[in-house]
Amino acid sequence: MSAAAVTDEVLLAFAEEVGADGPVAVAGARTRWDVGGPLSDGTRVVTAPAGIVWHRPDEMTVLVRAGTTVADLHADLAAERQRTALPDRGGTVGGALAVGEDDVCVLGVDRIRTALLQARYVSAEGRMVTGGGPTVKNVSGYDLPRLLVGSLGTLGLLGEVLLRTNPVPPVSTWLAADGADAFAVADALYRPSAVLAVGDRTWVCLEGHGPDVDHEHGVVAGLGDFDEVDGPPPLPRHRWSLTRTDLRDLDVAALGDHVVSVGTGTVFAEHPQPRAAPPPALADLAGRIKHEFDPTGRLTPGRTP
């Protein structure tokens, strides 16, 4: 049996398990299980298939099933010195895409939305649907894959995805210093992969070719007493989205333990961000999209992206 036939068989079995009736949701490793609110009572929970179907290093793409952990995916890609924009925080590929949370080094690997080229998902009718394609030029119509990113499984249940891969940089190093101004550091560097702040302590991730990293290392050396460290600080589980102005004027009491990602508008916090009502036009659009994809509201009921 060909690889294509095998993967089709696996995905059709997943679609059959999801079925066409009754409330249903898909679970990964449950590392972000509370994002978007609790599931409605009586919701049946299924598990997406796992496994890497193929990796084509020369084309910088990988076909992987949604139940595969990000750690397993990146371990496999590392053999060819490649990675993806998906964050490795203990979860699955499908879970990372459904939540839509960028990697802490998003400035280096790009937004998670850009990684998803094609998605095969189970619709509310229990059918397997394919959206997207191996290259953007071969795709016409709506960009369904990017719409699914961050949708928390409310529009479709991911079974298999085609991802864009990135080269692992020759040099990658984390630096940290007390008393450095994280905003000044972010402004002074050319393209850091991450600039993080906790109180008056700043972390920086520099990646690239050796001479470039050495140059940027010299830049930060003039802004503080930076030392090499093993990696970023622990990231709290909740995510706030703010403007750069808001980042400078944070009410840290509302955050609890937190890590500010300077340059992205993201704050990882101990407490969830208070939910604000969306503008009426946006709420109407979201409702109409949900109705088109899931008219009976059976997919991941109770959650709001």
Examine the pLDDT at 139 and tell me if it is beyond 60: no
- The whole-number pLDDT of residue 242 equals 84
Q: Where would I find the H helices in the chain?
A: 3-18, 70-78, 93-99, 106-109, 144-148, 182-188, 210-221, 244-248, 252-255, 280-293
Q: Please tell me the predicted confidence (pLDDT) of residue 245.
A: 75
Query: Contact 183/99 with Cβ under 8 angstroms?
Result: no
Q: Quickly state the pLDDT bin for 216 (edges 50, 70, 90).
A: very high
What's this model's pTM, rounded to 2 decimal places? 0.92
Task: Work out the average pLDDT over 114-143.
Answer: 84
Per-residue model confidence as pLDDT tens digits over 223-242: 999 999 999 999 998 888 88
Instruction: Please give the Cα distance from 13 to 44 (Å, whole number).
Output: 16
- Which pLDDT score, from 0 to 100, does residue 68 have? 98
Q: Which of 62, 67, 115 is nearest to 91 (CA)?
A: 67
pLDDT in tens, 146-201: 999 999 999 999 999 999 999 999 999 999 999 999 999 999 999 999 999 998 99
Work out the mean pLDDT of the chain and round it to a whole number: 92
Over residues 262-303, the pLDDT tens digits come to: 988 899 998 888 888 889 999 999 999 999 999 999 999 999
pLDDT of residue 116: 96
- Is the model's pLDDT at 94 over the cut of 70? yes
* 183: number of Cβ within 10 Å: 17
Closest by CA position to 215, among listed 186, 184, 191: 191
Measuring CA to CA, which residue among 236, 223, 131 is closest to residue 176? Answer: 223
Give me the torsion for CA of 232, 80, 100, 15, rounded to 10°.
Answer: -140
Q: How far apart are CA 8 and CA 12, in angstroms?
A: 6
Judge contact between 12 and 24, C-beta under 8 A. no
In a 3-state reduction of DSSP, which class is residue 118? strand
Q: How many CB atoms lie within 10 A of CB 269?
A: 22
